[in-house]
Amino acid sequence: MSEDLYAKLDLTKKVRFQKSENKDKNTEVCDDTDNSASKDTSTIYDNYCVEGSTPPKLDDSTTEDQQQIVSVSVNSHERNLVKAAAVFLVLLCLFLLAAVIVMWIQNTSLLCEMKTLNISLTTERDQLQISYNKMQNNFTTLSREQEQLQKNYSRIQNLNTNLTQRTEQLEEEKQNLGVFNSNLTQQRDQLKQQLVNSVKISSGKKNLVRTAAVFLALLCVLLLVTIIELVILYGCINANLNVLKIANSNLTQQNIELQQQLGE
């Protein structure tokens, strides 16, 4: 289009420009871009005073000027479009670059957070595994202790049963000793009575008295020895009975404590 413009130029014409000053007293030449012919202060005058040539018609020169103005306006519009497109592409590239940078930063931070979270979860998993292993060991230990306590409880139950039976046997022996002591006391009284009766009947007979005295002395000694043995045996039985009662109370207390531990 610019070639057409230069091809249609008539060099026989003389063009003069009338410039107007701006407020800052600077001058500029107008290229007539984007309909700048209406905004510029320059005015173009054509001089048709060419020697040896016939002046062209006014309509033809006006048409050519309009064509030149239109072509220049089209070129300026195309340049503006290209500039706008270039600016748009540059802005789009900058926007895409900024978006890529932001996404890369977000992705990097997300990866860091995921790594940190993975490390934290791995640490917590290891701690939970250690705690689980400790609980398993504690459970195994408690199971063994429970079995041992159950065995001890069974033994204590057996000992308690045996002690109860032994206590009952000692009670029976004590009662039998009491009956035997009563019988000996009755026999002693009977012998004394018989001795008194025999002394009254045969008071004149010294030999019988001596014999009775010796017999009575021997009987007294025998009774005394028997009584001493009975007292000693009774004391031993009482001591054993007290020991058995204390052991029974201790076993009962241990039984209660074991039941409480098993209940827990």
Better-predicted residue by pLDDT, 50 or 202: 202
Residue 8 three-state SS? coil
Residue 158, class by beta-carbon neighbours within 10 Å (0-12 exposed, 13-18 middle, 19+ buried)? exposed
Which tokens in the block code for residue 81? 């479009």
Residues 6+ apart with CB under 8 A from 58: none
- Per-residue pLDDT tens for 229-239? 888 887 787 78
Global confidence as pTM: 0.35
Q: How far is it, in rounded angstroms, from Cα 160 to Cα 255? A: 9
- Residue 68 makes CB contacts below 8 A (sequence gap 6+) with 5, 8
Transcribe 205-228 into DSSP letters: -HHHHHHHHHHHHHHHHHHHHHHH
Contact 43, 65 (CB under 8 A): no
Of 88-97, 100-109, 233-242, the range with the lowest mean pLDDT is 233-242
Residue 243 pLDDT class (50, 70, 90 cuts): confident
pLDDT of 29 strictly over 50: no
Read off the pLDDT band of 180 (50, 70, 90).
confident
Q: Phi and psi for 115 in degrees, rounded to 5?
A: -65, -45
- What's the pLDDT at 93? 94
Is the distance from CB of 195 to CB of 212 less than 8 angstroms?
Answer: yes
